[in-house]
Amino acid sequence: MWTLCIGALVIISITHWIYRWRNPRCNGKLPPGSMGLPLLGESIQFFTPNTSSEIPPFVKKRMKRYGPIFRTNLVGRPVVISTDSDLNYYIFQQEGRLFKSWYPDTFTEIFGQQNVGSLHGFIYKYLKNMVLNLFGPESLKKMLPEVEQVACRKLQGWSSQSTIELKDASASMVFDLTAKKLISYDQENSLENLRESFVAFIQGLISFPLNLPGTAYHKCLQGRKKAMKMLKSMLQERRANLRKNQSDFFDYVLEELRKEGTILTEAIALDLMFVLLFASYETTSLALTFAIKILSDNPQALKQLTEEHEAILKNRENIGSGLTWKEYKSMTYTFQFINETVRLANIVPGIFRKALKDIQYQGYTIPAGWAIMVCPPAVHLNPAKYEDPLAFNPSRWKGMETNGASKNFMAFGGGMRFCVGTEFTKVQMAVFLHCLVTKYRWQAVKGGNIVRTPGLQFPNGFHIKITRKNDEN
């Protein structure tokens, strides 16, 4: 008898728990959707790889069924996914009042408890201003000649090889430049390979968060651990051997750490360095690889891009001089090309925030504490926002702003968290393209297939053969 009673209570408890999982409490009407399986939610469906260039199948299927705003559960957290450009804009504009930056616990574990994406208010603005000292326009003007020299040197080296894998080669190029500017890191003169740790980290970054030996997520955490150990060692060594003149970001950080009453801590500084190294080189190398693949498939775009850059050389008084900031800012078609590239690439599949209080929107309630995922691909590929959205058409950006964010363009984020490295990314892409199209040709050899998991990946790489134009026949 007691066994039957206990069994009945267990069944009732489990049934109630499942009911509460599927029907969360809300002081209003929740957006439509499904919370998926208990504990797992719809995480497996969300992380399922796909080869579509359209709106991610996970999102597209639910948009069709529920509309532009729907609820789900990812990695154990209730989430409202927004594909509505007006709501997205509202979320970005109300940060600090109704919403705050938030990422899943797994993200915090990967990027650190003190990562810049998890910090708010004054400390976030303080760190943002620190980064602008490195990536702001005045610094980039001084950095432009070095960016050109690195691009030209790498292209020359690649042209002597039978083929190169562009994603890895461009990642190495951008990482070397960024690491030099941040921490004066030089791979050729270092006993340890910092970039190898980031490669292991990136391979499991957007994967199912199962922390068991052999899984991609476990390798990701191990890659972070090794990279952070190296960065901490470098910081301690630099602290013990202070330099008189500032020459990199580490010097600036050390000066801030020495100030009386500073709010900067070593933990925050190291997490910031880690995020900057990752964000600056991984996203830029993906964008560059995607750009070259697009140019390979679009001869008209290549023709227009080449004409713009050859005109820069033709109009230059001294043909042997390097790019100037004025020439860089004159690259009208190049900036249109870059915007169109990142619109289609959709390197960032989701931008997360958390509701600080109950939010009312179009008859729905987003409960306080719930996560909200802004979905840029759903806006960038919406035919109501972009005519023939899957077509590559840089000319659609004529007369439009190409340097900021808008309701319909969020490739670099939005609101107060608009990416501070955006101009740095554009400088590297534009300068690389300048060096490439004026001096070289290339031919796709193999690879180039795209998989989204949900982030952009080239699982088989993109192998190309580069030939210097002057060496042809």
**189 class by beta-carbon count within 10 Å (0-12 exposed, 13-18 middle, 19+ buried):** exposed
Alpha-helix residue ranges (DSSP H) falling in 405-449: 422-439
What is the distance between the alpha carbons of residues 82 and 85, in angstroms, rounded to a whole number?
Answer: 8
CA distances from residue 280 to 77, 427, 464 in whole angstroms, order as listed: 29, 12, 23
What is the distance between the alpha carbons of residues 353 and 417, in angstroms, rounded to a whole number?
Answer: 11
Cα–chain center distance at 368: 27
Query: CB–CB of 238/250 below 8 Å?
Result: yes
Determine whether the annotation assigns residue 375 to a binding site: no
What is the distance between the alpha carbons of residues 435 and 453, in angstroms, rounded to a whole number?
Answer: 32
**214 class by beta-carbon count within 10 Å (0-12 exposed, 13-18 middle, 19+ buried):** exposed
> β-strands 164-165, 462-468: how paired?
antiparallel
Q: Which of 415, 394, 166, 179 is nearest to 292 (CA)?
A: 166
CA distances from residue 306 to 321, 405, 429 in whole angstroms, order as listed: 19, 27, 14
- Residues comprising the binding site for heme? 419
- Residues comprising the binding site? 419
